[in-house]
Every structure is written in structure tokens, then in C-alpha cells.
Amino acid sequence: MVRPPLSPEDRERGRRLGALLRAARGDRPPAEVAAASGVSPEALRKIESGRVPTPAFFTVAALARALDIPLDRLVADLAERPAGSALSA
């Protein structure tokens, strides 16, 4: 099965997801969050930087749990468009 290419919207949502997770991590070391979530430090780095714009659901859920972010809040935050966004709704 061939995966279709990601849209600009998918890539932007991935960047926003990474920024939200990075902000929620705050001063905690990435290795600590990675260990608490069961996600590798490299995977966490790639997600936070937006290099993995569509991480698996269970990866996001594990990170949200480790960072004490309710999934519904994460979804709501990702659904909001930043001011001045050029992406269509």
C-alpha cells in the first residue's frame, strides 16, 4: 500500500503538535518525558521539531499521558488555526 503524500495542512498540524508538546514539556528534560511515555528520545525530538508530522495515535496518546495533557484538549488546540494562518479551513 502506497501512502499518499502529506498535504501542507498535515505538515502544519504536525508542526503545531510538536510546538504544543514542547511547550507542555517545559523545563523537563526530553529523556525524562521519553522514558515516562515509552517513546524513544529520538522519536520525541522528531515529533517536537515537526519532522514527524503524523505520529501514530498511540504515540501521541502516550506523550499526552506523560505530559498530563487531556487528548480532547490537544485535539481542540490543534483544530484552532493560528492567527494569520494561510491554510484553508
Would you say residue 89 lies in a domain?
A: no
Cell output for 21: 508538546
Residues spanned by the domain of 51: 8-79
Question: Is 90 exceeded by the pLDDT of residue 87?
Answer: no
Question: Is 90 exceeded by the pLDDT of residue 82?
Answer: no
How much of the chain, in percent, has pLDDT values that exceed 70? 90
What CATH number is attached to the domain comprising 68? Answer: 1.10.260.40
What is the number of domains present in the chain? Answer: 1
More confident residue, 65 or 80: 65
Question: Is 60 exceeded by the pLDDT of residue 53?
Answer: yes
Would you say residue 15 lies in a domain?
A: yes
Could you tell me the pTM of the whole model?
Answer: 0.84
Round to whole Å and give the CA distance between 62 and 64.
Answer: 5
Q: For CA atoms 51, 56, 59, 61, give the dihedral sign.
A: positive
Would you say residue 45 lies in a domain?
A: yes
Would you say residue 75 lies in a domain?
A: yes
- What are the distances in angstroms from CA 71 to CA 1, 10, 21, 35, 85? 29, 18, 12, 19, 23
How much of the chain, in percent, has pLDDT values that exceed 90? 78
The helix or strand, by DSSP H or E, that contains position 11, with its residue range, turns out to be helix 8-25
Would you say residue 87 lies in a domain?
A: no
Question: Is 90 exceeded by the pLDDT of residue 88?
Answer: no
